[in-house]
């Protein structure tokens, strides 16, 4: 499952004394050679959270003006928005936003942007659109904290609230969170050991030896269908919001049967 593998990757990164600090969908990828394995990439914003010589955790700190930290504002933790030094808990909170966004098809603040120019009644001459966008998204995250989890399986709320309640130096219970999502997978009737094949929902069209189809499958398992086909080109993807389709996606792509 996607959630379990992402937790695996974060646990490994953290076990090396490193924080990723930019957890988002674009930084989790699947290779063509092992498409059922999720990999984590882009350590451009990564930072050590332990001193290399004595292993001590970096001290807690916060920007005096609560200026936002680093990362991607859509998925950054609330602590990062308030200028608090990043810890392992913040990578987990970003992962929670990412998974919730997958299930919901997006996050409520995904279109929030500050204007390039300050509003007419802005009291200061200083105006940074990037900082203002971070601030606007922070406000939206605080307002949407309850509604964000409404209608979702409780496991997503547990992950989010757990990450939010961890203290700065706390060691997350990665295995407990993995068991949480394995339980969700079992309850919903799908497990990695028995991945259901994609469900075709459109007519297949053959063009130059390649079959173009539309099908539905579970999030994070789009390419696990390698057992019977190979995705040649991903043309479109949309989150399936029909009843009973929780955790699934609709994919339009080009397939080529395995030889």
Q: Which residues are tagged catalytic?
A: 22
Look up residue 21 and give its two tokens. Answer: 């600090």
- Using CA atoms, how far apart are residues 124 and 64, in angstroms rounded to an integer? 19
Q: Tokens 């994070």 correspond to what residue? A: 220
Provide the residue count of the chain. 259
């Amino acid at each position: 499952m996607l959630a379990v593998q992402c937790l695996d990757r974060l646990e490994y990164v953290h076990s090396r004394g490193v924080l990723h600090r930019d957890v988002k969908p674009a930084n989790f990828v699947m290779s063509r050679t092992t498409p059922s394995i999720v990999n984590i990439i882009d350590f451009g914003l990564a930072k050590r959270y332990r001193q290399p010589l004595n292993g001590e955790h970096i001290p807690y700190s916060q920007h005096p003006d609560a200026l936002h930290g680093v990362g991607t504002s859509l998925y950054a933790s609330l602590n990062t928005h308030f200028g608090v030094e990043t810890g392992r808990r913040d990578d987990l909170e970003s992962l929670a936003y990412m998974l919730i966004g997958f299930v919901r098809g997006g996050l409520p603040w995904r279109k929030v942007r500050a204007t390039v120019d300050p509003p007419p009644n802005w009291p200061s001459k200083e105006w940074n659109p990037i900082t203002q966008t971070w601030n606007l998204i922070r406000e939206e995250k605080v307002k949407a904290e309850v509604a964000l989890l409404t209608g979702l399986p409780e496991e997503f709320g547990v992950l989010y609230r757990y990450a939010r309640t961890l203290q700065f130096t706390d060691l997350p219970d990665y295995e407990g969170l993995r068991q949480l999502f394995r339980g969700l997978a079992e309850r919903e009737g799908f497990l990695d050991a028995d991945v259901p094949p994609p469900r075709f929902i459109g007519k297949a069209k053959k063009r130059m030896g390649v079959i173009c189809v539309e099908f539905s499958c579970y999030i994070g398992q789009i390419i696990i269908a390698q057992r019977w086909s190979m995705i040649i080109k991903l043309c479109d993807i949309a989150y399936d919001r029909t009843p009973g389709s929780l955790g699934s996606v609709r994919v339009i792509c080009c397939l080529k049967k395995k030889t």
